[in-house]
Amino acid sequence: MITFRDRGARGRHSGAEVDARHSFSFGDYIDPKNMGFRALRVLNEERIIPGGGFAEHAHQDMEIITLVLEGTVRHRDDLGNETRIRAGEVQRMSAGTGVRHSERNPSADSRTHILQIWIHPSKAGLAPSYEQRSFDPRARHNRFGVLVSEDGREGSLSIHQDAVLELACLDEGTSLTRSLDPQRGYWVQVISGIIGLNGTELRMGDGAALTQEQLLALEADTDCEVLLIDLP
C-alpha cells in the first residue's frame, strides 16, 4: 500500500524568521491523521532568513537529524558543541535525557534551507550525544547512499533506532529499483525535481508512505534528489 502526502497538504508555519512545512503534526499544526509514520515523528522542510533561526530550546528522548540543503546552520548546545553545518552536511543529535540547543542562519544575505527529521529512539533515557559529517556526493549519484543508520554502516551517522536514511541524486532519465521488506515501512520524500514512484508522479515537497510493499521503482523525469527512510 502506498499513501501519498501532497506537498500542498502539509502544515505550514510562516514566521518572521522561519518558513516551515510540516509533513506531520508539529507545533500549532495538529492533524490527528498525520501524527507520524511508525518511528518517524517529524519531517519538516524549513527555510530560514539571513540572521534568523531558532532560539535556545530543549529536546528529550528523540533522535534529531538535520540535512542542510542550502546555506549554513550555526549550532550551539549545552553539550559544549558549537559548530557550523554547511550544505551537503548532515547532523545527528540524540537528545536522550535532555539537551538544549539553538540553530541560526549565520549569513547576512543568504537563506538557509534544511530538512529536519525526528525519529523516536528504541528506548528512553539514553545519554545525549552529537555527530556531524559531510558525505561524498559521488556515493549517492544515481543510487542510494546511506546517511544515517543504527550501526553506522558505510561511514554513516548512527542513531538509537533500527532505521536507515538514504539519499539518491538522480540524473534525468535514470531508473532505480529497490527491493523492500513488506514487514517494514518506508517513507519517500522528494527533495528536488520530479520523479515517478511506482508509476505515480511526485514533485519537490511530496512524500509517500509505503507499507507491505516489495518493490520501490523510481524514474527521474528531471534531475532530482530523493530521501528514503526505512523504518521498523
pLDDT score, position 146:
97
H/E stretch holding 67: strand 63-70
**In the structure, what pLDDT confidence band is assigned to residue 154 with cuts at 50, 70 and 90?**
very high
pLDDT score, position 192:
98
* pLDDT tens, position by position, 60-93: 999 999 999 999 999 999 999 999 999 999 999 9
On whether the pTM is more than 0.85, the answer is yes
Q: Is 153 helix (H, G, I), strand (E, B) or coil?
A: helix
- Give, in degrees to the nearest 5, the angle at Cα 175 between 169 and 177: 95
Residues ≥6 apart with Cβ < 8 Å to 139: 145, 154
Considering the chain, what percentage of its residues have pLDDT values greater than 70? 100
Closest CA to 185 of 154, 155, 218, 207: 207
Strands 164-170 and 224-231, sheet pairing: antiparallel
Domain with 124, as residue range(s), is 2-231
**In the structure, what pLDDT confidence band is assigned to residue 114 with cuts at 50, 70 and 90?**
very high
**In the structure, what pLDDT confidence band is assigned to residue 147 with cuts at 50, 70 and 90?**
very high
Considering the chain, what percentage of its residues have pLDDT values greater than 90? 98
Q: How many domains does the chain have?
A: 1
Q: Please tell me the distance from the alpha carbon of residue 40 to that of residue 38, in angstroms, as a whole number.
A: 5
Name the phi and psi angles at 71, rounded to 5. 80, -150
pLDDT score, position 64:
98
Residue 186's CATH number: 2.60.120.10
HEC letters along 100-152: EEEEECCCCCCCEEEEEEEECCCCCCCCCEEEEEECCHHHHECCEEEEEECCC
**In the structure, what pLDDT confidence band is assigned to residue 127 with cuts at 50, 70 and 90?**
very high
pLDDT score, position 52:
96
